[in-house]
Structure 1
Amino acid sequence: MVSEGNILEVKNLNVSFRVRGSEIEAIHDISLDLREHETLAIVGESGSGKSVLTKTFTGMLETNGRISQGTVDYKNSRLSDLKLNKQWTKIRGKEIATIFQDPMTSLDPIHTIGSQISEVVVKHQGKTKKEAKKIAIDLMKKTGIPNAEKRYNEYPFEYSGGMRQRIVIAIALACRPEVLICDEPTTALDVTIQAQILDLIKDLQQEYQFTIIFITHDLGVVASIADRIAVMYSGRIVEIGTCEEIFYDSRHPYTWSLLSSLPQLARKGEDLKSIPGTPPSLYKKIEGDAFAPRNQYAMGVDFKAEPPMFKVTDTHYAKTWLLDKRAPKVEKPELIQNLHQHMIEMTKEDN
């Protein structure tokens, strides 16, 4: 049973994988609440554990993966206790649906677009084939497919990348989910189409009142869509807060690095900022703060002890020793000190 106002709760979650005779940990002690009707963005570099975390919400971990500690609760169900595929069929799609990065892996190339949407409507809404076709065409229209009646009988190869992604969204909505997981749904699209897909997702959320988990490696993508942002690094949530808190009052050096790497902050004639080094290997046991070897603000304690999650405000927490009262005071990078003004200027340029 989740708390009032929440739809999903994760407590002290660890996820491990059996690889070449060894047990490696991909998710480490994560606790997280998802509130009804909000948009929570989960951001971090590739390999930080974003997709692995959300796969525990739909029972889609690889066969060598398991929840080794902690719980995942959705409404009145303990998802972390589900073992059988038939148990997950009541949750997967119908309650929690996922939109993946590459729409071609989600669409069957030998079946028409319309039949793939209608099949989901029949299965999850119990409609007749005739009713399902009408609903499918309506969903195609709502997701911005022109000439939906005609294009209902076309195949995936006849659609552009952006249009295929719209169809994947339509299929997810055909399930009538309570939670929609968007796993980097705009990465393969150009900037213009990316913006259209983001606007579409926001508009559909207003209409259907579902909750969104938006996974991305690009903080800039979620600036206009997220209510809260969770920053992940090496299988850990290192900072979480409202969109405004993460962009304008972030406290973790990794979050500072992600913000400094935003292409929108690039200055003419200068190289784009990047984060030095590489994320730690999952095969190697981490001592102290996982980000310490790449952190220019690292102190001795960062290499010895993992920091706790410090409270900044009631909605803002960060996992860094810099928030300990004994730590020296440091300034975040100059590039993001006036980020609010930068964002205002970028908004003016876009308009």
Structure 2
Amino acid sequence: MTDKKTILKVDDLSVNFQVRGRTLKAIHHVSMDLYEGETLAIVGESGSGKSVLTRTFTGMLESNGYIPNGTIDYDGQHLEKLKKDKDWEGIRGKEIATIFQEPMTSLDPIKTIGSQIAEVIIKHQGKSKKEAKAEAISLMERTGIPNAADRYSDYPFEYSGGMRQRIVIAIALACHPKILICDEPTTALDVTIQAQILDLIKELAQEFHFTTIFITHDLGVVAAIADRIAVMYSGRIIEYGTCDEIFYDPRHPYTWSLLSSLPQLATKGGELFSIPGTPPSLYHDIVGDAFAPRDPYAMKVDFKADPPMFKVTDTHYAKTWLLDPRAPKTEKPALIQNLHERMVEQHEAVKTADIVGGERK
């Protein structure tokens, strides 16, 4: 339970695509709430439906995609009913903005950096060119662009990947959105720049008071920024809870596998855990638990019946038959037991290595 305001409510949402005469069921009866001011991380392997789900919030499904059932309630407005780009003008960017994985796909290569930010300010805030330029420079400074006034007239190719991602963040903030969707914004960046971008998004969320949805395939990325985590598999949310609940008291075998795959748990000379098998085809109806064929803990019932979402706590739910009172008691894998202590030890080891490395320079 929470006393926070629900800013976005998804209820029983499904998304299908028509592909060469066949129906691909990308999202399957998903329900979720987004609370004002929080950072919700949506985590899962590639193809799990993370990006497709959030594209329904901005009307950015491909032309062959459609919503056969379910609702998306944003502050009292039903987004699933909006069909045309004109209908989305008051929502897309202005209310709900998106930062994508590759900033060069979001930036116009033949327009200057500053002009692309200023255009958004003029369109969404109605300011003059002079006012827009001043605010654009301010946003560039706030997102960590050095010598922003001098670099206002630069082109995207003159910026590094990390700098371009900062500009995309500045453009999104120029719209003054209430919700910022970050679709794997750090995947293409090196670890150091990745950490800087994550810290920046966290700082800006507090400063500009927006709600964040953070999409990633890597649970380790969201450990420091997420308030809650929703784990997706084959177009379904199979577990959700607070960050601590998902990391330290996970209940779904798929979540166990994602945690076991954390690079932080790798030992020197040892192999990193990988999840065996592949996700099921979304062209076919799935009987039972979608994860069952890859699940070493699967029972007979997992291949026959889709499990309900079982309640663990008021904030923690998991879609697995292991939580049925009739199921045998099953412990999570040894690799992720005492996970908190192991991650703290690994973090301290990295800090020590950085200090020693710094002294050697």
Distance 2:154 2:24 in 1: 44
Alignment root-mean-square deviation, CA: 0.9
Identity of aligned residues (%): 75
Distance 2:158 2:295 in 1: 47
- Matched residue, 1:110: 110
- Matched residue, 1:291: 291
- What is the CA deviation profile of residues 207-262 of structure 1, one whole-angstrom value per residue up to 9, with x for unaligned ones? 00100000000000000000000000000000000000000000000000000000
Distance 1:303 1:131 in 2: 61
Which amino acid in structure 2 is aligned with residue 5 of structure 1? K
- Matched residue, 1:259: 259
- Matched residue, 1:101: 101
Paired residues in the alignment total 349
- Matched residue, 1:8: 8
Moved more, 42-51 or 4-13: 4-13
- Matched residue, 2:276: 276
Displacement of 1:53: 0.2
- Matched residue, 2:132: 132
- Matched residue, 1:68: 68
Q: Are positions 1:329 and 2:325 aligned together?
A: no
Displacement of 1:4: 6.8
Distance 1:141 1:82 in 2: 36
Gapped regions of structure 1 (runs ≥ 5): none
- What is the CA deviation profile of residues 289-310 of structure 1, one whole-angstrom value per residue up to 9, with x for unaligned ones? 0000000000000000000000
- Matched residue, 1:27: 27
- Matched residue, 1:54: 54
Give me the TM-score of the superposition, normalised by structure 2: 0.96
Displacement of 1:350: 4.3
- Matched residue, 1:250: 250
Distance 1:283 1:60 in 2: 21
Displacement of 1:347: 3.0
Distance 1:350 1:217 in 2: 23
- Matched residue, 2:37: 37
- Matched residue, 1:177: 177
Displacement of 1:348: 2.2
Distance 2:137 2:183 in 1: 25
3-state SS of paired residue (2:136): helix
Distance 2:312 2:176 in 1: 37
Distance 2:154 2:245 in 1: 45
3-state SS of paired residue (1:104): helix
Structure 2 counterparts to residues 309-328 of structure 1, below 5 A: 309-328=309-328
Distance 1:160 1:349 in 2: 30
3-state SS of paired residue (1:272): coil
Distance 1:350 1:5 in 2: 39
3-state SS of paired residue (1:119): helix
- Matched residue, 1:235: 235
Displacement of 1:342: 1.2
Distance 2:111 2:249 in 1: 49
Gapped regions of structure 2 (runs ≥ 5): 352-361
- What is the CA deviation profile of residues 81-131 of structure 1, one whole-angstrom value per residue up to 9, with x for unaligned ones? 111211101000000000000000000000000000000000011100000
Measured at CA, do residues 256 and 4 of structure 1 come closer, stay the same or move farther in structure 2, by a change above 3 Å? Answer: closer
Distance 2:193 2:322 in 1: 40
Displacement of 1:269: 1.6
Give me the TM-score of the superposition, normalised by structure 1: 0.98
Retained in 1: the 8 A contact 2:4–2:36? no
- Matched residue, 1:303: 303
- Matched residue, 1:154: 154
Distance 1:266 1:23 in 2: 40
Which amino acid in structure 2 is aligned with residue 255 of structure 1? T
- Matched residue, 1:189: 189
Runs of 4+ in 1 over 2 A off after TM superposition: 346-351
Measured at CA, do residues 200 and 288 of structure 1 come closer, stay the same or move farther in structure 2, by a change above 3 Å? Answer: same
3-state SS of paired residue (1:62): coil
Displacement of 1:282: 1.2
Which amino acid in structure 2 is aligned with residue 146 of structure 1? P
3-state SS of paired residue (2:101): coil
Displacement of 1:265: 0.3
Which amino acid in structure 1 is aligned with residue 153 of structure 2? N
